């Protein structure tokens, strides 16, 4: 089990991580949501041993601090940047990283073959990475994190810049790995990825852990009401009490019981052309917790992320 206890990290006057605690069990995928400058990469750096916490403690599966090289055997990291040697072939990259973890001989060959198969790159095994497409590199980047078969996997924005086919491939692989019992931290900007892959989600902003819970419970707690919109054919009769303001031919309102509300309006004789019901999701949870949209925050803070990784490494 991964255990992060009251971890703090600052760069000068900038507090990158403030008192974050979390735990992760085998077979669980934990989503890490937050704009890049939120401290997400710093948190991953602290878990991976790339950074030393100012305060607090990180314990990797099997015990031991990530500062201890032996303990880091239990850890696999797929960084956001494609951390591969473009001058080496796919096989040479995987073999090199496997050797760093002490794999030799038949064991090394087996793991390299297995990871090439996982990445769907068996036919390109002897081609240099420089000749690969972005999607192929992204798959190999994940395979390189898995070559030593670690129980804990840190995936930092694994689907950035990939085509839908590769994205689907990566989702399948993450689900397979979860089913094999690996503990995975999945950092992403995309709500749909977190919703699909993660049972629990941690929302981080400005270095603080704003919420950490099951997705359903988060939505229940922070998602608010469903938003209902109907488009009317004509002006509503004054005798009917509308649940929201009528403006430009539409009526919008928020409710916990959207179906019941619609049923009541229909029984009162109101007629409308279109109905939209928007249920609360992680996006609304994030919006409610941070006061801003995750996608907007992520796009505007790319440079902040770069600065954070730079400072970290």
Nearest approach, Cβ of 140 to another protein (angstroms)?
Answer: 12
Quick check: 298 binds another protein (CB under 8 A)?
Answer: no
Quick check: 158 binds another protein (CB under 8 A)?
Answer: no
Using CA atoms, how far apart are residues 285 and 221, in angstroms rounded to an integer? Answer: 8
Quick check: 97 binds another protein (CB under 8 A)?
Answer: yes
Quick check: 102 binds another protein (CB under 8 A)?
Answer: yes
Nearest approach, Cβ of 12 to another protein (angstroms)?
Answer: 13
Nearest approach, Cβ of 294 to another protein (angstroms)?
Answer: 24
Q: Which of residues 32-51 bind another protein (CB under 8 A)?
A: 45, 48-51
**174: which residues sit within 8 A by CB, 6+ positions away?**
29, 155, 158, 184, 186, 197
Q: Phi, psi (5° rounding) for residue 303?
A: -65, -35
Residue 229: in which H helix or E strand, if any? strand 226-232
Quick check: 14 binds another protein (CB under 8 A)?
Answer: no
How many binding residues for another protein (CB under 8 A)?
Answer: 35
Nearest approach, Cβ of 97 to another protein (angstroms)?
Answer: 6
Q: Does residue 140 contact residue 64 with C-beta atoms inside 8 Å?
A: no
Instruction: Give the single-character DSSP code of 89.
Output: B
Nearest approach, Cβ of 86 to another protein (angstroms)?
Answer: 8
Residue with tokens 């797929």: 78
Quick check: 96 binds another protein (CB under 8 A)?
Answer: yes
CB of 85 or CB of 253, closer to another protein: 85
Residue with tokens 């919703």: 195
Instruction: Give the single-character DSSP code of 237.
Output: P
Tokens for 226, please give them: 């469903």
**39: which residues sit within 8 A by CB, 6+ positions away?**
9, 16, 17, 18, 20, 204, 205, 206, 207, 208, 308
Nearest approach, Cβ of 176 to another protein (angstroms)?
Answer: 22
Which of 114-122, 201-209, 267-275, 305-313 is the region at the interface with another protein (rule: CB under 8 A)? 305-313
Tell me how crowded residue 272 is: count the other CB atoms within 10 A of its CB: 18
Nearest approach, Cβ of 290 to another protein (angstroms)?
Answer: 28
CB of 1 or CB of 50, closer to another protein: 50
- The three-point CA angle 170-159-226 to 5° equals 100
Nearest approach, Cβ of 68 to another protein (angstroms)?
Answer: 9
Quick check: 132 binds another protein (CB under 8 A)?
Answer: no
Q: Does residue 54 contact residue 13 with C-beta atoms inside 8 Å?
A: no
Which of 10-18, 68-76, 203-211, 281-289 is the region at the interface with another protein (rule: CB under 8 A)? 68-76
Quick check: 72 binds another protein (CB under 8 A)?
Answer: yes
**32: which residues sit within 8 A by CB, 6+ positions away?**
40, 43, 44, 185, 186, 187, 188, 201, 202, 204
Q: Which of residues 76-95 bind another protein (CB under 8 A)?
A: 77, 79-88, 92
**Positions in the binding site for another protein (CB under 8 A):** 45, 48-52, 69-73, 75, 77, 79-88, 92, 96-97, 99-102, 128, 144, 310, 312-313
């Amino acid at each position: 089990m991964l255990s992060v206890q009251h971890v703090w990290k600052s760069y000068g006057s900038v507090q990158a991580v403030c008192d974050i605690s979390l735990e992760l069990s085998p077979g669980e995928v934990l989503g890490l949501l937050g704009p890049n400058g939120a401290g997400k990469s710093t948190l991953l750096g602290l878990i991976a041993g790339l950074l030393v916490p100012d305060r607090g403690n990180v314990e990797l599966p099997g015990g031991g601090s990530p500062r201890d090289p032996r303990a880091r055997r239990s850890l696999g990291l797929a960084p956001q940047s494609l951390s591969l040697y473009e001058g080496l072939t796919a096989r040479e990259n995987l073999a090199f990283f496997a050797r760093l973890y002490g794999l030799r001989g038949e064991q090394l060959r087996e793991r390299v073959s297995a990871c090439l198969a996982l990445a769907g790159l068996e036919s390109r095994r002897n081609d240099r990475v420089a000749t690969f497409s972005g999607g192929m590199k992204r798959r190999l980047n994940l395979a390189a994190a898995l070559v030593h078969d670690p129980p804990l996997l840190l995936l930092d924005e694994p689907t950035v810049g990939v085509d839908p086919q590769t994205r689907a491939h990566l989702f399948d692989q993450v689900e397979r790995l979860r089913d094999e019992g690996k503990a995975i931290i999945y950092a992403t900007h995309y709500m749909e990825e977190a919703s699909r892959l993660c049972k629990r989600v941690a929302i981080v902003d400005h270095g603080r852990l704003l919420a950490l819970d099951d997705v359903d419970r988060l939505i229940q707690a922070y998602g608010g009401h469903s938003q209902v919109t109907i488009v009317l054919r004509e002006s509503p009769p004054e005798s009917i009490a509308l649940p929201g303001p009528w403006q430009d031919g539409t009526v919008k309102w928020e409710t916990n019981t959207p179906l019941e509300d619609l049923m009541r309006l229909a029984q009162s004789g109101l007629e409308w052309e279109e109905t939209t019901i928007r249920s609360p999701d992680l996006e609304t949870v994030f919006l409610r917790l941070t006061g801003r949209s995750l996608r907007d925050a992520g796009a505007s803070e790319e440079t902040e992320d770069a600065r954070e990784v730079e400072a970290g490494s």
